[in-house]
């Protein structure tokens, strides 16, 4: 049974489609929203063994305390509550997240008053990342019914000591459609873009292997690859290894479409560095989500960059308003803007 609250948008969203030169037909569509958000160090105040969380303790560099933690939860939930509010769909049905310390902080987040009524459920696995930051998936069970999940380790063949975030694979029913979501946080550019590039190429290859395995099981698999990829849509990791293309008119069977490609070309970004914008936070879709007009299919992609998320003055004016910057507590949100897509399905 679909959520009545969620699908009321189907009644309100009407597109007039020209069928021929002399006639028009109105079609009603259900609307679905899927988002990704780098939460920029959502840490609690408790020392977690075997991870490097010292900066986020009361006596750490950030003097991280209960008040700051609760303010962080308030800010993160406030953003999630507003994503996709162009349509009255009560927020995204699926939210991939990264830079979370553990499941406990996610429990606190989804219980926050700003989003508690959405009943978000959590898929989370502890990753081997040395800082203890993980990826996870939040989902509304009345819209997306999870039936399987797994965490896939990222390895480097020439570096057995390499450790990074796992890739989270979640499968479920989005309405009546089987859908697979791969949540990522690819290795950073620490040490320089060129030097660190092989790590992100390896992450892209792993994501592609997961996609191909899903295509092997079902040539029409609906797959979403999302995450903070630490590369732009035009970088080698995306183009040559994930093989995500930016021209939707040239997407063939079992290929991937990156709706962020053209956004990046236009200068739209999700984070800023040295007065330049990058679009690291991406949502890539498989061919059936682009071309299957009889079921859930892609409509548009956006960056959630509302004014309240933007630094209003100072050296970083115009940048995302961060929680901390330069070691100073700012009380902001994240150094990344969320990204999201809308899916449509015709009401018949």
pLDDT digits (tens, 9 = 90+) for 217-272: 999 999 999 999 999 999 999 999 999 999 999 999 999 999 999 999 999 999 99
Range of 120's domain? 4-346
Residue 313, phi then psi, degrees to nearest 5: -155, 180
Structure tokens at 40: 């920029």
Average pLDDT across the chain, whole number: 92
Angle between helices 103-110 and 66-82 (to 10 degrees): 60
User: How does pLDDT run across 269-319, given as a tens digit for each residue?
Assistant: 999 998 899 999 999 999 999 999 999 999 999 999 999 999 999 889 999
User: How does pLDDT run across 93-152, given as a tens digit for each residue?
Assistant: 999 999 999 999 999 999 999 999 999 999 999 999 988 899 999 999 999 999 999 999
Rounded to 5 degrees, what angle do the CA atoms 233, 341, 123 make?
95
- The count of domains in the chain is 1
CATH code for the domain in which residue 120 is found: 3.60.10.10
Beta-bridge partners for 276: 273
């Amino acid at each position: 049974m679909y959520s009545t609250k969620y699908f009321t948008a189907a009644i309100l969203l009407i597109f007039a489609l020209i069928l021929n030169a002399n006639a028009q037909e109105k079609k009603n569509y259900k609307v679905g929203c899927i988002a990704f958000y780098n939460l920029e160090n959502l840490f609690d105040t408790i020392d977690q063994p075997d991870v490097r969380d010292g900066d986020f303790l009361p006596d750490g560099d950030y003097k991280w305390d209960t008040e700051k933690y609760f303010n962080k939860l308030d800010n993160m939930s406030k953003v999630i509550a507003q994503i996709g509010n162009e349509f009255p769909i009560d927020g995204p049905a699926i939210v991939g997240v990264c830079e979370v310390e553990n499941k406990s902080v996610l429990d606190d987040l989804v219980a926050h008053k700003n989003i508690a009524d959405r009943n978000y459920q959590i898929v989370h696995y502890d990753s081997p990342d040395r800082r203890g930051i993980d990826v996870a998936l939040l989902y509304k069970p009345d819209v997306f019914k999870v039936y399987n999940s797994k965490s896939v380790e990222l390895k480097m063949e020439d570096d057995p000591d390499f450790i990074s975030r796992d890739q989270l694979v979640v499968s479920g029913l989005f309405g009546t459609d089987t859908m697979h979501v791969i949540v990522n946080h690819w290795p950073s550019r620490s040490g320089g873009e060129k030097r660190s590039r092989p790590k992100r190429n390896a992450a892209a290859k792993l994501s592609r292997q997961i996609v191909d395995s899903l295509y092997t099981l079902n040539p029409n698999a609906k797959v979403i690859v999302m995450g903070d990829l630490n590369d732009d849509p035009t970088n080698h990791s995306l183009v040559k290894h994930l093989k995500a293309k930016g021209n939707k008119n040239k997407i063939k069977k079992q290929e991937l479409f990156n709706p962020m490609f053209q956004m990046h070309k236009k200068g739209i970004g999700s984070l800023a560095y040295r007065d330049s914008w990058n679009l690291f936070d991406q949502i890539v879709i498989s061919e059936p989500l682009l071309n299957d007009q009889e079921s859930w299919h892609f409509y548009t992609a956006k960056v959630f960059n509302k004014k309240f998320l933007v630094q209003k003055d100072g050296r970083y004016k115009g940048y995302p308003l961060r929680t901390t910057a330069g070691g100073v507590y700012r009380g902001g949100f994240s150094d990344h803007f969320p990204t999201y897509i809308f899916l449509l399905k015709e009401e018949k």
